[in-house]
């Protein structure tokens, strides 16, 4: 059972919060001053300290509590909502700030995270000239290494790898914030929004074959066709690109804002608008003219995939793959749950089909706490 120290001079408030915390299985040691708090910390060693606001010197009491017990997480509770003061208290060192009226879910979440405050990741993509240098250095080093060692171990490694791959169903990828996944028959493509890059992977080992960086775009969805790659930027801008070494942009479309997922069926481009939660079927003309539009039948489409004549979507919040009725895409033919996500450690962000299996790419929760992961799923029925 988790135990906490609760600092408040009001017996009534201590009782009120103790009751709430008791309901979620927390043992509360109530104290009415700092001397009492010192005694409780020394004798009972509670996991964290909660400090309630009661008078104008609240910030001072919080500051003193943090300086007296720097090893204990401190949660401050304001008597009323005030974002400015909440941030000020966090800057003073409070791990979390809550405010009245308190809810059980709020308390439970704050207690869950106490002592496990996440870090903040800062990222800056290197300038274009250095990117080119890094890319070629990496490319030639990889070529040299492959030339020296690849041929000798090729046959043995291939046999071994095939045996291993047939048993594996998940792979860790070398970046943190994947946003989309697509297959082109030979290779797989994964977009990472944080590094603003598209990674081309070999589907055998999932090694990175090349990285294409988009200096002015944050890719959130991709669709691969035999001759082109379509990307969607976080602003909703859709770009059609040549499938060459640098993925040269051919045409940009700004007419479809709020687009967060796309798929190409061979003739039409399908888009999903996250704000209106609608699927649209579009011509690939200069305005991406809408031919038809349908309400999305799930919670939120994270990715769209076309397989022959069938439209599939990844419902990210519900962790399900949906098969749509192609004549009535607002109706679902089948739902396939993804048990790989049941532990809540990852959130699926991209869906792809390699001709045999569905694959999803996912980012860790809390975001950035672990590298991206790729799951191979059983083929849903009916295909």
Cβ closest to another protein, residue 95 vs residue 265:
95
Taking CA atoms, 232 is separated from 6, 20, 131, in Å, by 50, 46, 22
Cα gap 167→135, rounded to integer Å:
33
Find out whether 313 and 324 touch, Cβ atoms under 8 Å: yes
Least distance in Å: CB of 150 to another protein?
25
DSSP letter, residue 105: H
Q: Which residues bind another protein (CB under 8 A)?
A: 81, 83-84, 86-87, 90-91, 96-98, 105-106, 108-110, 112-113, 117-125, 174-177, 193-196, 218, 220, 234-235, 258, 260, 274-275, 300, 302, 316-317, 343-345, 347, 349, 365-368
Least distance in Å: CB of 233 to another protein?
9
Find out whether 146 and 157 touch, Cβ atoms under 8 Å: no
Least distance in Å: CB of 381 to another protein?
28
Nearest residue to 239 (alpha-carbon basis) of 210, 265, 259, 211: 259
Least distance in Å: CB of 347 to another protein?
5
Cβ closest to another protein, residue 35 vs residue 119:
119
Least distance in Å: CB of 217 to another protein?
8
Cβ closest to another protein, residue 126 vs residue 150:
126
Please spell the DSSP secondary structure of 136-200, one letter per residue.
HHHHHHHHHHIIIIIHHHHHHHHHHHHHHHTT--EEE-S-S-EEEEEE-SSEEEEEETTTTEEEE
Find out whether 355 and 332 touch, Cβ atoms under 8 Å: no
Cβ closest to another protein, residue 85 vs residue 377:
85
* 366 preceded by a cis bond (ω within 30 of 0): yes
Cβ closest to another protein, residue 22 vs residue 127:
127
Least distance in Å: CB of 234 to another protein?
4
Cβ closest to another protein, residue 333 vs residue 365:
365
């Amino acid at each position: 059972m988790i135990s906490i120290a609760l600092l408040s001079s009001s017996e009534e408030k201590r009782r009120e919060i103790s009751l709430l915390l008791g309901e979620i299985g927390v043992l509360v040691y109530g104290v009415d001053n700092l001397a009492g708090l010192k005694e409780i910390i020394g004798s009972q060693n509670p996991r964290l300290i909660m400090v309630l606001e009661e008078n104008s010197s609240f910030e001072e009491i919080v500051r003193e509590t943090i300086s007296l017990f720097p090893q204990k997480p401190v949660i401050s509770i304001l008597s009323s909502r005030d974002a400015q003061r909440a941030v000020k208290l966090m800057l003073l060192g409070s791990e979390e700030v809550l405010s009245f009226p308190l809810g059980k879910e709020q308390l439970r979440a704050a207690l869950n995270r106490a002592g496990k405050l996440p870090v903040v990741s800062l990222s800056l993509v290197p300038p274009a000239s250095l990117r080119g240098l890094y890319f070629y250095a990496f490319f030639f080093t990889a070529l040299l290494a492959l030339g020296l060692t690849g041929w000798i171990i090729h046959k043995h490694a291939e046999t071994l790898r095939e045996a291993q791959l047939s048993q594996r169903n998940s792979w860790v990828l070398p970046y943190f914030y994947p946003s989309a996944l697509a297959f082109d028959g030979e290779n797989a493509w994964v977009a990472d929004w944080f590094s603003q890059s598209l990674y081309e992977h070999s589907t055998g080992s999932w090694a990175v074959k090349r990285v294409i960086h988009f200096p002015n775009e944050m890719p959130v969805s991709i669709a691969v066709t035999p001759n082109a790659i379509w990307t969607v930027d976080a602003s909703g801008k859709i770009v059609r690109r040549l499938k060459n070494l640098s993925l040269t942009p051919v045409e940009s479309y700004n007419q479809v804002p709020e687009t967060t997922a796309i798929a190409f069926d061979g003739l039409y481009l399908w888009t999903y608008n996250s704000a209106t939660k609608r699927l649209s079927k579009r011509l690939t003309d200069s305005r991406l003219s809408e031919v038809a539009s349908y309400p999305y039948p799930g919670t939120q489409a994270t990715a769209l995939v076309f397989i022959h004549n069938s439209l599939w979507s990844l419902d990210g919040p519900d962790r399900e793959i949906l098969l749509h009725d192609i004549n009535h895409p607002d109706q679902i033919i089948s739902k396939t749950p993804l048990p790989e996500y049941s532990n809540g450690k990852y959130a699926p962000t991209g869906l792809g089909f390699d001709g045999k299996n569905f694959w999803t790419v996912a980012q860790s929760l809390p975001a950035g706490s672990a590298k991206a992961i790729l799951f191979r799923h059983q083929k849903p029925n009916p295909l």
